[in-house]
């Protein structure tokens, strides 16, 4: 009986997580845009504008390039699907999501990589110059972020002796004194740089530009229109929210439910929404004060993340 209720509980918590990421993603993008506009002295679009835009795009006609193959059709669906699976199994609201044993940091990284790789292929698929350029740049940045991310995972998993994300979060909750160890701070700094690079925010990519010399992500999805574009937009917003959600729960896991009880899930939901909102606003404020770095300087930034993660691993070895 208790196992059945446990299974139902984990299922419901995972559904709550997917729902909050799906709705919260576009809202978070809207909030970040609003904060940025206000700080720059503009009124800015309403916070819910991304949701309205997505609804509008879903109602439009399906329109694809003549030469495009099945990859072009598959990529947006797979992008959203991988993020949905990742959102279901990560400990955003509770440390007992469905498929807890599969919620490994390596699994999550490569699950998200499937989506971005297909999107890069779709950029090449239509055969236009811009798409190829955007894909090439996006893959370059992704390849440079990869080693930094892997070493970061290594540094983060030393505390819990496991790369299982719920186990890491539970270990920090159980040992609050280990929250500010040097290895964790180094690793989380590296993780933040990688998240900014992977989700195409400033200073690596400017999501608000359509200038051919600088755009990375926008060039890749230039051929998409209508419902396909809506899926890509939703997928990207969800990905940013999911990555930030994982980040905040690694930084400060307090509030995350350690069971699947109703009250725990409600508290966990409120805390994760509040934490992601704070980090999102912070990122938006930060973006006002910085410019996009030149594409050739991006390796320096990601090499910095790699060294931070390495320092994290060494600090972990030293503390042993």
Partner 1 sequence: MSASTYTNVLGLAAAAVLLCAVVTLWRRSLGAIVRTLAVQGAALACVATVIGLHEHDVGLIVVGLLVLGAKAVVVPLLIGRVVRHDPNSRETDPLVNVPASLVAAGALTFLAFAATRSVTSLVPTTAGRLIPIGLAAMLVGFFALVTRRKAVSQIVGILLVDNGVALVAFLATAGVPLLVELGASLDVLLAVIVLRVLAIQMRSRLGSFDLDQLTELHD
Angstrom distances, CA of residue 283 to CA of 31, 127, 219, 289: 11, 35, 23, 10
CB 233 within 8 A of CB 50: yes
Closer by beta carbon to partner 1, 136 or else 181: 181
The 62-101 contact track toward partner 1, x by CB under 8 A, reads ----------------------------------------
Find the binding residues for partner 1 in span 301-320 (CB under 8 A). Answer: 303-304, 306-308, 310-311, 314-315, 317-319
Report d(CA 113, CA 198) in Å as an integer: 10
Report d(CA 74, CA 13) in Å as an integer: 28
Q: How far is the CB of 201 from partner 1 (least distance, A)?
A: 20
Closer by beta carbon to partner 1, 185 or else 295: 185
Tally of CB atoms within 10 A around 8: 11
Q: Helices in 40-128 by DSSP H: which ranges?
A: 49-59, 70-89, 105-125
Closer by beta carbon to partner 1, 276 or else 313: 313
Among residues 47, 84, 173, 185, which is the contact residue for partner 1, using CB under 8 A?
Answer: 185
Closer by beta carbon to partner 1, 219 or else 250: 250
Q: Say which residue the tokens 């972990």 belong to.
A: 316
| Residue 15 interacting with partner 1 (CB under 8 A) | no
Q: Say which residue the tokens 């499937």 belong to.
A: 114
Nearest by Cα to 26 from 64, 61, 56: 56
| Residue 290 interacting with partner 1 (CB under 8 A) | no
| Residue 180 interacting with partner 1 (CB under 8 A) | yes
Angstrom distances, CA of residue 156 to CA of 103, 149, 182, 258, 313: 15, 10, 11, 20, 8
Closer by beta carbon to partner 1, 150 or else 185: 185
| Residue 40 interacting with partner 1 (CB under 8 A) | no
| Residue 142 interacting with partner 1 (CB under 8 A) | no
Q: How far is the CB of 147 from partner 1 (least distance, A)?
A: 10
Q: How far is the CB of 317 from partner 1 (least distance, A)?
A: 6
Closer by beta carbon to partner 1, 4 or else 180: 180
| Residue 186 interacting with partner 1 (CB under 8 A) | yes
Closer by beta carbon to partner 1, 139 or else 277: 139
Closer by beta carbon to partner 1, 70 or else 296: 296
Q: How far is the CB of 36 from partner 1 (least distance, A)?
A: 26
What H or E segment, with its residue span, contains residue 148? helix 129-160
DSSP symbol at 216:
S
| Residue 174 interacting with partner 1 (CB under 8 A) | no
| Residue 288 interacting with partner 1 (CB under 8 A) | no
| Residue 299 interacting with partner 1 (CB under 8 A) | yes
| CA angle (55, 61, 62) in 5-degree steps | 100
| Residue 12 interacting with partner 1 (CB under 8 A) | no
Q: Which residues, in sequence order, are CB contacts of 88 under 8 Å at separation 6+?
A: 14, 15, 17, 18, 97, 98, 99
Report d(CA 92, CA 273) in Å as an integer: 9
In the complex, the residues that contact partner 1 under the rule CB under 8 A are 177, 180-182, 185-186, 299-300, 303-304, 306-308, 310-311, 314-315, 317-319
């Amino acid at each position: 009986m208790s196992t059945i209720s446990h299974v139902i509980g984990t299922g419901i918590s995972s559904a709550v997580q997917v729902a909050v990421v799906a709705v919260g993603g576009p809202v978070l993008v809207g909030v970040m845009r609003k904060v940025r506009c206000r700080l720059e002295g503009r009124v800015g679009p309403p916070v819910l504008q991304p949701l309205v835009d997505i609804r509008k795009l879903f109602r439009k006609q399906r329109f694809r390039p003549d030469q495009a193959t099945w990859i072009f059709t598959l990529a947006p669906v797979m992008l959203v699907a991988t993020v949905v699976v990742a959102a279901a199994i990560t400990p955003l609201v509770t440390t007992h999501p469905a498929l807890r044993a599969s919620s490994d940091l390596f699994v999550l990284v490569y699950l998200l990589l499937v989506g971005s790789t297909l999107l890069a292929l779709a950029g090449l698929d239509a055969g236009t110059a811009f798409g190829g350029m955007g894909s090439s740049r996006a893959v370059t940045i992704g390849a440079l972020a990869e080693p930094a991310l892997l070493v970061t995972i290594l540094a983060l998993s030393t505390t819990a002796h496991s790369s299982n994300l719920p186990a890491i979060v539970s270990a920090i909750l159980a040992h609050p004194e280990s929250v500010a160890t040097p290895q964790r701070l180094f690793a989380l700094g590296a993780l933040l740089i990688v998240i900014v690079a992977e989700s195409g925010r400033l200073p690596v990519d400017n999501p608000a530009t359509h200038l051919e010399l600088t755009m990375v992500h926008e060039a890749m999805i230039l051929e998409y229109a209508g419902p396909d574009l809506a899926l890509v937009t939703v997928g990207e917003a969800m990905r940013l929210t999911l990555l930030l959600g994982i980040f905040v729960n690694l930084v400060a896991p307090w509030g995350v439910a350690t069971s699947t009880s109703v009250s725990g899930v409600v508290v966990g939901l409120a805390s994760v929404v509040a934490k992601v909102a704070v980090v999102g606003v912070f990122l938006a404020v930060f973006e006002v004060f910085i410019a996009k770095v030149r594409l050739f300087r991006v390796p320096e930034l990601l090499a910095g993340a790699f060294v931070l993660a390495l320092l994290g691993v060494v600090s972990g070895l030293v503390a042993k």
